[in-house]
């Protein structure tokens, strides 16, 4: 009849087992067949995991910082943007904007007032086919000059996410490249050491007379 297991057997045995696995993850000296390059590979794999987590944390930090900066700039800009109505005084036509890198847009001459009793006239962007004497909503700055509308929050989120992803990818790729190089150097040294040791052991193992270096052929 089998012995009944005591209530503390499971947890008592699993904790040392897990601790042993963690120790072996960092140091494989307990295994006599484990090569130095195997121990180096195991340690560098741990370093890679840690560097991945650090890169992820840095990406989150960069995303948060960029989001805060973009939101603060957007709030400051929005304080000096005002949406008003302008009245076109001519028909719409296509024009080439030098400020937009030579791209074409539809514009029309228009007049508006901002601040009160301060009249302005200029060409503004309008939908295609806008006739004269049509009211169009525009954004102006504090001086009444036409200005760009405040950027939406979705654009801030996209900019922040792109910055965070770029920082994460840069750090992850850089750490991966360094670790791969170190592993390659460790493997190269291990192979060179193995070949040297094999040159010493192989004649005794095979029974073949060892040929000294520099000895000529008959």
Beta strand pairing status for 103-113 and 119-125?
Answer: antiparallel
CB 183 within 8 A of CB 40: yes
Q: How many CA atoms lie within 13 A of 187 on its CB side?
A: 9
Q: What confidence tens digit (pLDDT) does each residue in 137-196 have?
A: 999 999 999 898 888 889 999 999 999 999 999 999 999 899 888 888 877 877 777 777
pLDDT reported for residue 179: 87
Q: Distance between CA atoms of 134 and 91, rounded to whole angstroms?
A: 9
pTM over 0.75: no
Q: What confidence tens digit (pLDDT) does each residue in 11-62 have?
A: 444 555 555 555 555 554 555 556 666 777 788 888 888 999 999 999 999 9
Which residue in 189, 81, 97 sits closest to 138, CA to CA?
81
Q: Distance between CA atoms of 185 and 192, rounded to whole angstroms?
A: 11
Q: What confidence tens digit (pLDDT) does each residue in 74-110 have?
A: 999 999 999 999 999 988 887 755 555 556 788 999 9
Q: What confidence tens digit (pLDDT) does each residue in 104-130 have?
A: 788 999 999 998 888 999 999 898 888
CATH architecture of 82-149: Beta Barrel (2.40)
Mean pLDDT of the chain: 79
Q: Distance between CA atoms of 199 and 184, rounded to whole angstroms?
A: 23
Which residue in 62, 59, 65, 60 sits closest to 175, CA to CA?
59
Confidence of residue 218 (pLDDT cuts 50, 70, 90): very low
- In the chain the first and final C-alpha atoms are separated, in Å, by 77
Per-domain residue ranges of the chain: 19-73+156-206, 82-149
144 CA to centre of own chain = 41
% pLDDT > 90, the chain: 39
């Amino acid at each position: 009849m089998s012995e009944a297991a005591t209530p503390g057997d499971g947890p008592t045995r699993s904790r040392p087992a897990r601790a042993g696995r963690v120790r072996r993850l960092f140091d494989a000296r307990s295994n006599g067949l484990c090569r130095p390059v195997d121990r180096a590979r195991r340690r560098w794999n741990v370093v890679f995991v840690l560097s991945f987590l650090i890169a992820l944390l840095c990406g989150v930090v960069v995303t948060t910082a960029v989001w805060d900066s973009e939101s603060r700039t957007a709030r400051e800009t929005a304080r000096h943007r005002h949406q008003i109505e302008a009245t076109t005084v001519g028909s719409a036509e296509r024009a080439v904007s030098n400020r937009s890198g030579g791209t074409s847009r539809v514009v029309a001459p228009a007049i508006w007032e901002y601040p009160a009793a301060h009249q302005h006239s200029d060409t503004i962007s309008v939908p295609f086919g806008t006739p004269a004497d049509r009211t169009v909503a525009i954004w102006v700055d504090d001086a009444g000059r036409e200005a760009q509308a405040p950027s939406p929050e979705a654009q801030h989120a996209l900019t922040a996410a792109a910055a965070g992803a770029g920082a994460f990818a840069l750090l992850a790729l850089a750490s991966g490249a360094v670790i791969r190089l170190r592993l390659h150097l460790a493997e190269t040294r291990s192979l060179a050491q193995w070949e040297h040791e094999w040159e010493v052991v192989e004649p005794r193992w095979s029974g073949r007379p060892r040929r000294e270096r520099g000895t000529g052929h008959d």
